[in-house]
Homo-oligomer: A and B are copies of this chain.
Amino acid sequence: MKKLHIVGLGLLGGSFGLAAKNKFPEILITGTDASEKNLQDALNLGIIQESKDAPDADTDIVILATPADTLGDLLSKTLDQIGENTLVFDVGSTKAKLCALAAGHPKRKQYLAAHPIAGTEYSGPKAAFAGLLDRKVLIVCELEQTDLQLKEKAYELFDALNLKLRFMDPEEHDRHLAFVSHLSHISSFMLGKTVLQKMEDEKNIFDMAGSGFASTVRLAKSSPAMWSPIFTENKDNILSALDGYISNLTAFRDKISASDGQGLSDDMAEINKIGDILDLEK
């Protein structure tokens, strides 16, 4: 692992850079970002050592870490640019469209579709930190489509970063993520919106917000530039998750309206099981 190139030097791209430099001190990391300020910050923070628009021909791995709706064009362009011993992987939150697009490219074997289940509500190079990816799950799709030797390169990086690999097909990935990630962000954003609207009438409402509110609304600080494309790219799955959510909320609302204490209690007791499931998964 001698040379890495990162396109998109935000929270994820930046954290890959910092962690890779920690594990491979001799590595040269080049990279670029659509924002001149992000690029400068990334240089100052040591995320990359050199600003470069395109990867050198002898680059081992190129990481694409830009918003979901830009990854298609970027992947095509990058595959066109790279030398024959370079692997490209992206870290986007949606995988089906990207894999379908990659399928038609003559250099498909040099691409690996990946998605690290890691993030915070903050964004940009300054939010990046070397520990973000440590012991996190990395979902890999269509592994069989990637060249065997190039895969070994990717494994070398993933192992060094303590990523735990999980394999699934891209459609399954997008279906699951709509429920366990994208829906959480929407519920949190809309919770934030609802309370902000109420605040227009009621001053000091946040004085009363405890840790429960803080944790459910945390994701409402997330980056619109990152999330808007995810919501539209994974539209069908998200609409299905969101419709289920709204329908559950409406049914629960009706039980409150009917003062059906027992019904509410039974519902919640059933849902409490999620505690055991989440603890088991740790």
Contacts and interface: CB of A to CB of B under 8 A. Distances in A.
A43 interface: no
Contacts of A194: 179, 183, 241, 244-245, 248
Interface string A206-236: 1111111111111111101101110110010
CB-based closest 10 A-B pairs: A224-B268, A221-B275, A228-B265, A180-B209, A184-B216, A117-B210, A224-B265, A192-B274, A228-B264, A190-B248
B228 A268 contact: yes
Interface string A160-199: 0000001000001101110111011111111111111111
Interface of A: 69, 117-121, 136-137, 139, 166, 172-173, 175-177, 179-181, 183-199, 202, 205-222, 224-225, 227-229, 231-232, 235, 238-239, 241-246, 248-250, 252-253, 256-257, 259-262, 264-275, 277-278, 281
Nearest to A250: B246
24 contacts: A117-B209, A180-B208, A181-B208, A183-B191, A187-B216, A190-B245, A190-B248, A193-B271, A194-B241, A199-B277, A207-B281, A216-B218, A216-B219, A220-B268, A221-B274, A222-B272, A224-B264, A228-B268, A231-B261, A232-B260, A235-B259, A239-B257, A242-B252, A246-B253
A208 B257 contact: no
**Residue with the highest number of chain B CB atoms closer than 10 Å, among A69, A199, A246, A260:** A246
A92 to B, nearest CB: 14
Nearest to A243: B253
Nearest to A69: B261
B184 A220 contact: no
A267 to B, nearest CB: 7
Contacts of A209: 117, 180-181, 278, 281
Contacts of A179: 194-195, 198, 202, 205
B239 A256 contact: yes
A228 to B, nearest CB: 4
A196 B272 CA distance: 10
A272 B222 CA distance: 7
A281 B206 contact: yes
A248 to B, nearest CB: 4
